């Protein structure tokens, strides 16, 4: 968030501007919700279009990876062609991808649709946040506006499964995508009247090489992780990993040399900024795994329908949203350093409580654990924007904002790829009563051995073991990040010297 004091006198913010903020928050909610909205839909989707284990993970995370890879690029593009123009163009692209996803007939079509949505979504976040800075010259009003933007972004990921559950109770799985359409229509109609245009004249060239190298590094690396989780560490996984790491190394070297880098690596030398980015990355990794795996657990292990599963997710959705809005008041009294440590600790406790879930009971552990984790996530994610921007000089705030948004999306995608793959690996290494190894997803095994109660129970136990492994690692990462904050961040983090 942008904070600070000024002796200048500002006119009251017009009501029209606040209406414009409401319009800007709509795409933020959609982009964040669409990261998690598939969690509850996956069991039904799997039954209808039969994706493989690898295809299921691509359906979930291709959206987040393209979003993360293109956020900074789209922010630079908005500077040149206009933020409002980019926002509206991105909304149209996002809407087209949503319709395509809703009516997908096979996994390949759905993956392509999710990729298109990722491209469109990458234009919406940086454009909306930049326009807020233009629309609210009053620092106090701007801080409130960015606080609402952050709460919408942080809360959207938690609300997504709830919205998905309500829709799935009454409609087919594609409805979780069609819900985007009317919201985007409102944005496209109201945007030209309520939102100002904003562009910056610059002769700085695009870092096209950086864009290509970053995507060429991220996608093969993630593919290697997912392939190894499903099929083992074979030659294909090793080749993909080597290619991905090589491109990532080339990307870092290029960014250090080029005059106009896509990613300003010098920002990471600032302790406050680095801590904020690390916290958002680890926080979103653990949240993504917790949300995705617990959604499958509630439906495929405990036998609940999507609406019942969604209702059990309401406590977490509420705590994430409420504590996102309350974070500024909380950290005013205890400071950013203590705020981060407290938030990461609460999120870790919530993850560890999920170790209490089981095949024949323990739903209480999910409800209590996810609600406590939501308190931590809400505070931490709201702190990220504030510390990331305020810990750097004003002329670098735009780059800092782009990196912080990227860390949220990249963390979400990495959570699905790394912790989701870990859970899948543990599940597929389990065996039934006759020593049969589990292949595919839990739903695949339940469908194939529906009449064999012992086999189905063993498969569910193996899946729960995978969930325990993922949330256990997620909780450990949160604890490790809290320790890093305690060691690295000064006691009065807000007074850290700006670069």
Contact between residue 296 and residue 161 where contact means Cβ atoms under 8 Å apart: no
The residue range of the domain holding 431 is 15-207+260-495
Q: Residue 261: how many CB atoms within 10 A of its CB?
A: 18
CA–CA separation, 91 vs 448, rounded Å?
41
Look up tokens 């995978």; give the residue: 466
Per-residue pLDDT of 295-321, as tens digits, reads 889 988 888 877 788 788 888 888 887
CA–CA separation, 87 vs 75, rounded Å?
10
Residue 174 carries which DSSP code?
Answer: T
Q: Is 254 contained in some domain?
A: no
Per-residue pLDDT of 466-495, as tens digits, reads 999 999 999 999 999 999 999 987 765 444
pLDDT at 187 over 70: yes
Q: Give the start-end residues of each E strand in 80-196.
A: none
User: Average pLDDT of 201-213?
Assistant: 78
Q: Is 447 contained in some domain?
A: yes
User: Predicted confidence band at 44 (pLDDT cuts at 50, 70, 90)?
Assistant: confident
Q: Is 135 contained in some domain?
A: yes
User: Predicted confidence band at 388 (pLDDT cuts at 50, 70, 90)?
Assistant: low
Per-residue pLDDT of 132-183, as tens digits, reads 777 777 766 776 777 677 777 766 766 776 777 778 778 888 888 888 888 8
Q: Is 7 contained in some domain?
A: no
CA–CA separation, 74 vs 304, rounded Å?
41
* Collapsed DSSP state (helix, strand, coil) of residue 324: helix
Give the dihedral of Cα atoms 385, 366, 59, 187; nearest 10 deg.
Answer: -50
What H or E segment, with its residue span, contains residue 259? none
| 4-11: long-range pairs with CB below 8 Å, 24+ | 4/139, 4/390, 5/139, 6/139, 10/137, 10/138, 10/139, 10/141, 11/138
Two tokens at 224? 């290697």
What H or E segment, with its residue span, contains residue 417? none
CA–CA separation, 439 vs 431, rounded Å?
10
Dihedral pair phi/psi, residue 317, rounded to 5°: -60, -40
Tell me the longest C-alpha to C-alpha distance in the chain: 77
pLDDT at 498 over 60: no
* Collapsed DSSP state (helix, strand, coil) of residue 431: strand
Per-residue pLDDT of 71-97, as tens digits, reads 777 877 776 777 788 888 888 898 899
Q: Residue 139 has what pLDDT?
A: 65
Q: Please tell me the number of Cα atoms within 13 Å of 64 on its side-chain side.
A: 29
Look up tokens 């910056």; give the residue: 200
User: Predicted confidence band at 344 (pLDDT cuts at 50, 70, 90)?
Assistant: very high
Which distant-in-sequence residues (6+ apart) come within 8 Å of 497 by Cβ?
Answer: none
User: Predicted confidence band at 200 (pLDDT cuts at 50, 70, 90)?
Assistant: low
Q: Is 299 contained in some domain?
A: yes
Mean model confidence pLDDT for the chain: 80
Q: Residue 467 has what pLDDT?
A: 94
pLDDT at 1 over 90: no
Dihedral pair phi/psi, residue 437, rounded to 5°: -75, 145
- What is the CATH number for 450? 1.20.1250.20
Q: Is 89 contained in some domain?
A: yes
Q: Residue 261 has what pLDDT?
A: 80
- Evaluated on CA atoms 328, 332, 338, 342, the torsion sign reads negative
Two tokens at 269? 């030398």
Q: Residue 392 has what pLDDT?
A: 58
Strand partners, 431: 437
Over pLDDT 70: what percentage of the chain?
Answer: 86
Nearest alpha-carbon partner for 241 in 255, 259, 227, 261: 227
CA–CA separation, 72 vs 208, rounded Å?
12
* Collapsed DSSP state (helix, strand, coil) of residue 496: coil
Residue 416 carries which DSSP code?
Answer: I
- Tally the domains of the chain: 1
User: Average pLDDT of 188-210?
Assistant: 78
- Evaluated on CA atoms 475, 481, 314, 122, the torsion sign reads negative
Residue 378 carries which DSSP code?
Answer: H
Residue 42 to residues 63, 64, 103, 339, 375, Cα–Cα distance (Å): 15, 16, 15, 35, 26
User: Predicted confidence band at 400 (pLDDT cuts at 50, 70, 90)?
Assistant: low
Q: Is 182 contained in some domain?
A: yes
Q: Give the distance, in angstroms, between the CA of residue 270 and the centroid of all CA atoms in the same chain.
A: 24
Q: Is 238 contained in some domain?
A: no
User: Predicted confidence band at 363 (pLDDT cuts at 50, 70, 90)?
Assistant: very high
CA–CA separation, 31 vs 64, rounded Å?
10
Over pLDDT 90: what percentage of the chain?
Answer: 18
pLDDT at 346 over 90: yes
Contact between residue 464 and residue 358 where contact means Cβ atoms under 8 Å apart: yes
Contact between residue 102 and residue 201 where contact means Cβ atoms under 8 Å apart: no
């Amino acid at each position: 968030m942008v904070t600070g004091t000024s002796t200048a006198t500002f006119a009251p913010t017009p009501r029209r501007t606040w209406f414009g903020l409401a319009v800007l928050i709509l795409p933020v909610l959609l982009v964040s919700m669409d990261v998690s909205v598939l969690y509850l839909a996956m069991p039904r989707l799997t039954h209808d279009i039969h994706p493989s284990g690898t295809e299921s993970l691509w359906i979930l995370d291709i959206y987040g990876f393209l979003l993360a890879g293109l956020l900074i690029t789209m922010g630079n593009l908005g500077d040149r062609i206009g933020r409002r123009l980019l926002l509206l163009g991105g909304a149209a692209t996002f809407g087209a991808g949503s319709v395509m996803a809703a009516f997908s007939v096979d996994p390949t079509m759905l993956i392509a649709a999710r990729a298109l949505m990722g491209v469109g979504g990458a234009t919406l976040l940086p454009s909306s946040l930049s326009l807020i800075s233009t629309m609210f010259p009053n620092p106090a009003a701007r801080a409130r506006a960015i606080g609402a933007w952050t709460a919408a972004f942080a809360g959207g990921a938690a609300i997504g499964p709830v919205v998905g559950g309500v829709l799935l109770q009454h409609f087919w799985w594609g409805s979780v995508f069609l819900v985007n359409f009317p919201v985007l229509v409102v944005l496209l109609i109201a945007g030209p009247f309520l939102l100002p245009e904003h562009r910056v004249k610059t002769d700085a060239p695009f870092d096209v090489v950086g864009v290509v190298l970053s995507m060429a590094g991220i996608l093969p690396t993630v593919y290697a992780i997912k392939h190894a989780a499903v099929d083992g560490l074979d030659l294909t996984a090793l080749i993909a990993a080597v290619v991905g790491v090589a491109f990532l190394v080339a990307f870092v070297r290029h960014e250090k040399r080029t005059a106009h880098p896509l990613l300003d690596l010098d920002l990471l030398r600032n302790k406050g900024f680095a801590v904020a980015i690390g916290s958002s990355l680890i926080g979103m990794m653990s949240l993504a795994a917790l949300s995705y795996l617990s959604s499958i657990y509630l439906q495929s292990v405990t036998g609940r329908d999507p609406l019942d599963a969604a209702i059990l997710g309401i406590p977490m959705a509420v705590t994430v949203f409420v504590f996102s809005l309350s974070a500024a008041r909380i950290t005013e009294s205890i400071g950013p350093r203590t705020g981060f440590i407290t938030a990461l600790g609460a999120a870790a406790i919530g993850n560890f409580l999920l170790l209490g879930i089981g095949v024949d009971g323990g739903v209480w552990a999910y409800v209590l654990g996810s609600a406590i984790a939501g308190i931590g996530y809400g505070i931490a994610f709201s702190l990220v924007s504030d510390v990331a921007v305020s810990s750097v000089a004003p002329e670098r705030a735009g780059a800092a904002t782009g990196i912080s948004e990227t860390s949220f999306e990249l963390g979400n995608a990495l959570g699905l790829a790394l912790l989701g793959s870990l859970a899948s690996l543990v599940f597929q290494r389990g065996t039934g009563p006759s020593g049969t190894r589990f292949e595919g997803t839990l739903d695949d095994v339940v469908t194939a051995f529906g009449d064999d109660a012992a086999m189905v129970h063993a498969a569910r136990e193996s899946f729960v073991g995978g969930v325990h492994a993922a949330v256990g690692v997620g909780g450990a990462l949160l604890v490790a990040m809290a320790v890093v904050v305690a060691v690295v961040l000064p006691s009065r983090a807000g007074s850290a010297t700006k670069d």
